[in-house]
Structure 1
Amino acid sequence: MRQILAVAAGLVVLAASACSAPAPPRAAAGPSATPTGPAVLPAPTGDHPVGTTILHLTDKSRPDPWNLDVGTRQLKVTLWYPTEQKEGERAPYMTPKESEFFLRGSEIAGVPYDTLRKTRTNAIEDAEPAGEKLPLVVLSPGFTKPVSSLTSLAEDLASRGYVVAGIDHTYESHATTLSDGRVVDCIACDSDTDPGFGERVVRGRAADVSFVLDQLPVTWDGSGLIDRSRIAMVGQSMGGAGVMAAMVKDSRVRAGIDMDGSTYARIPKSGFSRPFMFIGSERQVPGGGDASWDRDWKLLTGWKRWIAVTDADHQAFTDIPLLGPSLGIEPVHGVLPAERGAKIARTYVAAFLDQHLKARRQPILDKPSTQYPEVKLCPEHCGQS
């Protein structure tokens, strides 16, 4: 299941992702304009400097669901967290090899394959964690995407006082680095038209999340920062679908956000009472967008919100639009500008988490905001019911 992003003179598969729409034919195209130079992620908006580090975890209790030759499940987990350290080496967005694998897998030509390595981040590599008893947010990316595609959101949350654990779901991305330094590609992409594929993916992602929650306290030296009674999860596209699956399976995840992802895990008919928010593109409106959201909305019995964003496309809440100029991809007319999409994602995700993990009421979640006229609270303000 892949979505192809139309840009300027042709089609670019940079936005390839698992979603509910039928997959169009695969096509390759080079950039449509001169690259502008390295992308620069927007600065975090919170009060804290941000550190980041990487863990490699191995789940010996289960084989890898995609690589039949591997008897254990290996995961790369990227952590972002508050630090007092203001100076130091900025963490790479991707390694040169990850950038190469991702651009090749996305069929992006015409730019050096190490281009995304040069993307400027804000987090300081391996900085000393600071703080105490902070909420934990698990991040899960879209299908074919590494978790680095959510770096801007992760850095912002860490600057606001959260520990963020981003999971690279091995063999579901075009580029995942394993503990021995090998970069592996997307084996699952060979199966993405199989019946039941979505259910299979989210079942595996739920298992990944539970394993990471088990392991963080014993594998990360900074785990003392984490308040394990305050855990939420945020995901985009297939990662959003994984949020619902993880919450159904693991009661430790207290609240969740699905960013523009069709859901596959079934909610019990008795209902689901933990806080949940859908946020998506205009196609995601009650009665006119994703049937899975309509189905699940009726079964959400606790605090819930459904947000549709005018002119947003499927990748609007990720880094993908921010990377476009560095790849020579011109903005699409009529599509939400990259910086605006990032600001909306940061604002509404943080508001949800502040309300449900920090007990800070957020009026922006209760009524339309003049600061964000693109944001519609459904079903009351969507024009459909």
Structure 2
Amino acid sequence: PATPYLTTEEARLLLDFQVPGGNVPSEAATGLHPWARTDARPASGRFPLVVLSPGFTLPRATLTGLAEDLASRGYVVAAVDHTYETSGTTFPDGRTLTCAICRDPAPDTFAAVPPSRAKDISFVLDRLTGPRPAWPYAHMIDRDRIGMAGHSIGGNSAAGTMAADQRIRAGVNMDGKFFDPFPAGGLGGRPFLMLGTQSVHNPSGWDTSWNDAWARMDGWKRWLSVTGSDHGSFTDGPLIGARAGLPDPEATLAPLRAEKITRAYVGAFFDLHLKGIPQRLLDRPSAAYPEVVFQQP
């Protein structure tokens, strides 16, 4: 059977949070059909692990398209829900916990989120790669090849988690402001990719935290901006919105095109840094993806 995209309650809470009073039916989210399947037989061998962290208030399911693409490339993928930071998280016993800080976060909340998520991710790594792993197929994971990507504050958290946990060898920030500043001492030469909106995340954009982060990066680095995208374009959110009849007025880039770009560049980044496969796509602009601008602050 197909893996459920979201439980009915998760979908209801997500849509109610994103469109208050819109009475959008939960089927707009639950009706999506991912390629993933439950109880699929894993391939033999050992594979790199990529951990995914969603944006603030968003469930991990909004990164399903990217997760599936990475899995198809030969990665073990662990998408993490950060309980009490998402509109709704359903546990295996059927309980659904809602967000405790989403509606009216205190001014210092956003800076506190990435360090908290770093602890979440380190816990997940312990449970996946420790001496008594929680996952029966943990033997598939190559512990020396672990990466992390996140959207929005999840992207900010990727940098903070790398600073706190040396097991993570490469990181990606997808359109996330650095509420928690990029580590002043860098990341020990480990690679980092920033992939964001052209309107905001260019060297002259209003989010100057990327300029500060760029100056602090001490390893392989790229700053890529996507023309026509908006904040949600690096997730499955626009696909859900389109199904609900709620097109995104701020993005001119079609949802499927945005997802294709995200998959191509994030996948190329991890193929280069976790598999050692050269990637011309990351060296220069590509005619196949003219929307992608290489920034050189």
**Which TM bucket (shorter chain)?**
over 0.9
Give the deviation of 1:197 after TM superposition.
1.4
Q: Do residues 174 (structure 1) and 90 (structure 2) align?
A: no
**Closer, same or farther: CA 108–304 of 1 in aligned 2, 3 Å:** farther
Given residue 233 of structure 1, which amino acid in structure 2 is its aligned partner?
Answer: M
How far is 1:226 from its partner?
0.4
Instruction: Name the residue aligned to 1:30.
Output: none
State the distance in 1 between where 2:236 and 2:59 align: 11
Residues 146, 274 of structure 2: 8 Å contact kept:
yes
Q: 1:301 aligned to 215, 218, 233, which one?
A: 218
- 1:340 pairs, out of 257, 270, 276, with 257
Q: What displacement does 1:191 show?
A: 4.4
The CA distance in 2 between the partners of 1:271 and 1:333, in whole Å, is 34
Residue in 1 that maps onto 2:8: 96
Q: Provide the TM-score with structure 2 as the length reference.
A: 0.94
TM (norm. structure 1) is 0.73
> Cα distance 1:103–1:268, how it changes in 2: closer, same or farther (>3 A)?
closer
Name the structure with the higher helix share.
2
Is the Cα contact below 8 Å between 1:331 and 1:337 reproduced in 2? no
Letter in 1 for 2:203: P
SS at match of 2:16: helix
Q: 2 CA distance for matches of 1:108 and 1:322?
A: 20
Amino acid at match of 1:210: S
Distance change >3 Å, CA 115–CA 311, structure 1 → 2: closer
Percent identity (aligned): 45
Q: Could you list the structure 1 runs, at least 4 aligned residues long, displaced by more than 4 angstroms after superposition.
A: none
SS in structure 2 of the partner of residue 189 of structure 1: coil
The aligned residue for residue 142 of structure 2 is 227
Report what 2:115 is aligned to. 203
Offset of residue 202 of structure 1: 0.7
Any conservation in 2 of the 1:199–1:264 contact (CA below 8 Å)? yes
Q: Which residue of 2 aligns with 1:260?
A: 175
SS of equivalent to 1:254: strand
Q: 2:269 matched to 1:352?
A: yes
- Name the amino acid aligned to 2:124: V
1:268 & 1:235 partners in 2: Cα distance?
17
Give 1:1-385 correspondences, 5 Å limit. Answer: 89-106=1-18, 107=20, 109-192=22-105, 194-217=106-129, 218-272=133-187, 273-282=189-198, 283-332=200-249, 335-379=252-296, 385=297
Q: Which residue of 2 aligns with 1:58?
A: none
Structure 1 residue runs without a partner (length 5+): 1-88, 380-384
1:333: how far off? 7.3
Partner Cα separation in structure 2 for residue 219 and residue 227 of structure 1 = 16
**Alignment partners' CA distance in 2, 1:246 and 1:334:** 30
- Conserved 8 A contact 2:232-2:238: yes
Counterpart secondary structure, 2:288: coil
**Partner secondary structure for residue 308 of structure 1:** strand
- What secondary structure, in the 3-state scheme, does the structure 2 residue paired with 1:298 have? helix
> Is the alpha carbon distance of 1:256 and 1:333 closer, same or farther for their aligned partners in structure 2, counting shifts above 3 Å?
closer
How far did residue 175 of structure 1 move?
A: 1.1
Deviations 1:59-89 (A, max 9, x none): xxxxxxxxxxxxxxxxxxxxxxxxxxxxxx1
Letter in 2 for 1:125: T
Residues in 2 aligned to 1:99 and 1:165: alpha-carbon distance in whole angstroms: 20
Contact 1:98 1:177 in 2 (8 A): yes
Task: Provide the C-alpha distance between the structure 1 equivalents of 2:138 and 2:76, rounded to a whole number of angstroms.
Answer: 9
CA-CA distance at 1:288 after TM superposition:
2.5
Instruction: Write the deviation string for residues 237-287 of structure 1: whole angstroms up to 9, x where unpaired.
Output: 011111011011001010000000011334444433210000000110113
